[in-house]
Amino acid sequence: MAWLILASSLATLATHRLVSLLLLLIAIITATITGIISGFALLILTFIAVVAFIHLRYQNRLFLKIASEIVLVACAIGLFIHIFPGFNNLKYLDKTVVGEQSAPFTMYFNFDKALIPFILFACLPTLFISSPTKTASSLQWCLLLLSVPVLLIIATLAGGLGFEWHLPTWLPAFVLCNLLFVSLAEEALFRGYLQQRLGQWLGSPYLALILTALLFGGLHFAGGPLLILFATLAGLIYGLTWMWSGKLWLAVSIHFGLNLGHLLFFTYPVKMVTGQ
């Protein structure tokens, strides 16, 4: 139940902030009762709430505004990499093999990572909707959309993936988890916040795009050089989507669309190494 309430709060955050925050509070209470959140995690969430209040309340005091934003972003990154204890995230799938050619796959419902959009929205009111930095033509949008399946096909030709059709019974859980607890959290951090802030600081949206994509790709280092390369290219696709539209949810949709297409039509998460 806590996961569905949390998903509802994330889905309404951009358009109905008060409703979303109320749902978030209910989700946290439910998660505490059911043991998903405990101990130190409650202290961390209380601390984040206090810092967010200070950040929003004292916008006219530059030092407090900057210092509180730094603390909030640091907390968001900490939640992203799961360094805070007390979050008992649900392991929904454990070393599941989705197809004959696919490597084992584990999927978590991460309560901590899902909180990132709330924190960054407090830091940056334009997280979900901002002014596009470029007006793209219809042809450019078509090429951008076409690049999503092309990237997966290139990854297949490079040997990282294989063509393999799947329709797993746990697909609805994957959709819920990947859309709201993975794609939204990652796009909020990398495109909505980091790329937007870097563009403001550096004065160059394209440099911000490249740096953010490189960082996004680098964080996939555990998967090896090929995954780093393709995650970087995917980051460029998501970043261009955000630049051209100014809408975070559109970048989230492209991100989720790539992940869903990957699951349905290709080996997931990667192709099984021969002899594994």
pLDDT in tens, 218-255: 998 888 899 999 999 999 999 999 999 999 999 999 99
Binned at pLDDT 50, 70 and 90, residue 39 comes out as confident
pLDDT in tens, 92-147: 999 999 999 999 999 999 999 999 999 999 999 999 999 998 889 999 999 999 99
pLDDT in tens, 40-51: 999 999 999 999
Binned at pLDDT 50, 70 and 90, residue 1 comes out as confident
Asked whether the whole model's pTM tops 0.85, one would answer: yes
pLDDT at 126 (0 to 100): 97
| Secondary structure string (H, E, C) spanning the chain | CHHHHHHHHHHHCCCCHHHHHHHHHHHHHHHHHCCCECCHHHHHHHHHHHHHHHHHHCCCCHHHHHHHHHHHHHHHHHHHCCCCCCECCEEEEEEECCCCCECCEEEEECHHHHCHHHHHHHHCCCCCECCCCCCCCHHHHHHHHHHHHHHHHHHHHCCCCCECCCCCCCHHHHHHHHHHHHHHHHHHHHHHHHHHHHHHHHCCHHHHHHHHHHHHHHCCHHHCHHHHHHHHHHHHHHHHHHHHHCEHHHHHHHHHHHHHHHHHHECCCCECCCCC
pLDDT at 274 (0 to 100): 62
What region, left, alpha or beta, does residue 177 occupy, with left being phi > 0 and alpha being psi -120 to 50 degrees?
Answer: alpha
Binned at pLDDT 50, 70 and 90, residue 17 comes out as very high
pLDDT at 224 (0 to 100): 87
Q: What is the mean pLDDT of the chain?
A: 95
Give the mean pLDDT of 76-104: 95
Can you give the residue ranges of every domain in the chain?
127-276
Q: What percent of the chain has pLDDT over 70?
A: 99
Binned at pLDDT 50, 70 and 90, residue 276 comes out as very low
pLDDT > 90? residue 273: no
Closest by Cα among 75, 96, 95 to 87:
75
